[in-house]
Amino acid sequence: MSALFTKDTQAIFWNNNKSAIQRMLDYDYVINREKPSVAAIVAPTADSKFDKFFYGPDEIMIPLYKNTAEAAKAFPNADVLLNFASFRTAYDVTMEAVKLKQFKTVMVTAEGIPERLARKMNVDARNSGVTVIGPATVGGIAPGAFKIANVGGTIENIINSKLHRAGSCGLVTRSGGLFNELSNIIAINADGIAEGVAIGGDRFVGSVFIDNLLRMEQNPQVKYMVLLGEVGGTEEYKVIEAVKNGQIKKPIIAWCIGTIAEHFSTGVQFGHAGASANADAETAVYKNKAMAEAGIFVPTSFNDLPNKINEVYNDLKSKGVISEIAEPELRTVPKTRRSKNFICTISDDRGDEATYAGYPISSVATPETGMGIGDVISLLWFKKRYPKWATDFIETVIKTVADHGPAVSGAHNAKVTARAGKSVVESLVTGLLTIGPRFGGAIDGAAQYFKHAHDHNMTPAEFLDYMKKEGVPIPGIGHRIKSLRNPDLRVEGLKKFANQYFPATPLLDYALTVEQLTTSKKDNLILNVDGTIGILMVDMWRALGYSETEIDEFVNSGTLNAFFIAGRTIGFIGHVLDEKRLAMPMYRHPFDDILYDVQMADEI
C-alpha cells in the first residue's frame, strides 16, 4: 500500500466529537472533495439518528449508529475508523474494528491505554493487516485528499502550512504538536508534505517509524522523508537498518529530540510515556550519531533542521527529482453560517420542477409513466421506488379501507360536523381524530403481535396463551358479522392478491394457522380485514428487503395506521360532500336513543 488515504477515503468516527468532525468537513470543502470524508458516526448513547454539520455554506446530515458493526454494514466502503473513545474503552473499540475485517486503518487518539492491552491490540491489528495510528496521537493527513480530525489546526493554518495540497515530503513524528510545527517548517523551507503521520506518544504504538517510512518509500508523491524521533526506545534503529540494506533509498532527514537529557545526572522522562532512555542506545545523542553514520541527513541541532530540509529539497529540485507544484483552486468556508430549523428528505420544491424523492413530479404524475398513488406513497413515505406488485398492493389497501359505511365513528363524526355548517377540512379532521386504538388501530396491533409471535417461534396455542396473559384481545382476529360460513370478501381479495403476487407470505401463513385455532372455539373469530392488512404489510416489507429492526420502526411509528388514514380520508370526504350535496340540516340526536339516569345532586 503506497498511501494510507486518497480523495475517496471515508471514515467512521467513533464518538461524536463535533468540533473535530466539523474541521474535517471544512477541510473537505476547501479542497473540493466530492463526498465528505466522514460517512457515519458511532454514538452509543445518542437517541438521534443523525447529526447536522456544515459543508461549506450548507448543512449535511451524518447518520448516527449505536455500534461500529451497524455503521460498517451501512457504509461498506468506509475503511478508516477514527477512534475517539476514552482510554477506558478505546481498546475494545479498536479490537471490534479489527475483527470486522473492513477497516484498513484505525486511529486511536486515547492516551494511557494499559500497556498490556496496547501490545495485544497492536499485534492483532498487524496480523490482520490493519494499520493502527496511535495510541496518543492527533492522527495523520494526506494533503489535498484526507485529514484526520484536528491535524493541521485551523483552515488558515492548514493553507499557510501548504497542507491543502500534496507536496514532496513524507513526514513521520511521534509528537502531534511538533507534527503541526514541522509541517509549517517544511512548507516554509520546501514545498510541503505529501503524507504525514504522528505515530503517537505512548510507549507501545501500532504503526512505528519503519512501517510508515517503508510505505512512503513506495509512494511516488514522496520524494524525501523527514523523521522526528525522540529520546527513548529503539525504533530509529530499524530505520537505520533499512537504509543500510537498501530498503529505503529516498533521502531521509532525521532528528531525535531530547539531546538535553545528557546534561542531567539522573534519568528524565520527556512528556510522552515512551520518552525516557533506559540505555545509552536509547538516548537522543546516541541515536542522532548512529543515523548520521548510516547516511541519514542529521542537522547539528533542532534549530538547524529547517536549513537541512531546505538543503535537501533544493538539491532534489536541481536534479529534477522535484518539480514545481501547481496551486489548486480552493473554496472558502463562509465566516458566518446559519443552522436550518427544518429538514426535508422526501421532496424538493426548488429549481424548475419539484421532485418526489428525486423524481420530477411530471415523471410520476403523467399517465404514460404507469406510476400511480402507490408509487407516490412509496417515494414520499419510504424514499424508495417499490416494484409494481408492492405499489399495486398499497393501492389495493387504500381502496379496501376507503369507506366502511356511515355508521362507524369517524364517518359519523364527519357527517355531524358537516351538518353543523363546517367546511370540508373541519369536517374531515373531526373524522380523522377518531382514528386510534379502537378505530383503525387493529392494523398496528395485528402487525405488532403477530410479528412478535412469529419472530419468537410461538405455536398458535402458545400465542393465544401469551395474549391471554397480556390481557389483550388478539388484534386482527374477530368480526361482528362475518364468520367462516360468511367470509369477508375484502379479506379473501387481499389473500388472493398476496398469493398471486407476493414472493412469500410467511406471516400470513402463520396467522392462518392461528385462525384455525380461534375459529375452532367460535366461528366468527376469523382474521379480519385490519389484521390481514397489518400482517401482509409486514410480509411486503420483508420481501422488499427491510431488516426486522426497520419493520419494527415502521410499526411503532404508526406507519400502518397511516395507510388507514390515507384511505379513510377518501371515504370521510365522500360523506362530507354527500351531506353538503343533500343540504342536510343541523343534527340532533333523538331523545329516545339516550338512556337518561340523572339523580339529584347531593348537598355538601
Give the residue numbers annotated as catalytic, written as ranges. 272
Cα→Cα distances 28→153, 165, 382, 603, Å: 14, 12, 30, 78
Q: 30 — phi, psi (to 5°)?
A: -60, -40
Q: Which residues contact 143 (CB under 8 A, 6 or more apart)?
A: 162, 163, 164, 165, 166, 167, 192, 193, 194, 195, 196
**Per the structure block, which three cell numbers stand in for 198?**
504522528
CA contacts within 13 A on the Cβ side of 452: 16
Comparing CA positions, the residue from 410, 452, 450 lying closest to residue 431 is: 410
Q: Which residues contact 55 (CB under 8 A, 6 or more apart)?
A: 25, 28, 29, 36
Quote the CA–CA distance of 59 and 52 in Å, as a whole number. 6
294-298 contacts at long range (C-beta below 8 A, 24 or more positions apart): 294/240, 294/243, 294/244, 295/243, 296/227, 296/239, 296/240, 296/243, 296/252, 296/253, 296/254, 297/251, 297/252, 297/253, 297/254, 298/253, 298/254, 298/255
Beta bridge partner(s), residue 142: 146
Quote the CA–CA distance of 339 and 131 in Å, as a whole number. 37
Q: Which residues contact 595 (CB under 8 A, 6 or more apart)?
A: none
Beta bridge partner(s), residue 227: 172, 254
Quote the CA–CA distance of 553 and 542 in Å, as a whole number. 13
Q: Which residues contact 378 (CB under 8 A, 6 or more apart)?
A: 384, 385, 386, 390, 391, 394
Helix, strand, or coil (residue 250): coil
Residue listed under C-alpha cell 355508521: 407
Query: Residues 402, 408, 409, 412: what is their CA dihedral angle, to the nearest 10 degrees?
Result: 90
434 CA to centre of own chain: 37
Cα→Cα distances 291→245, 251, 254, 284, 305, Å: 14, 12, 8, 11, 14
Quote the CA–CA distance of 134 and 210 in Å, as a whole number. 14
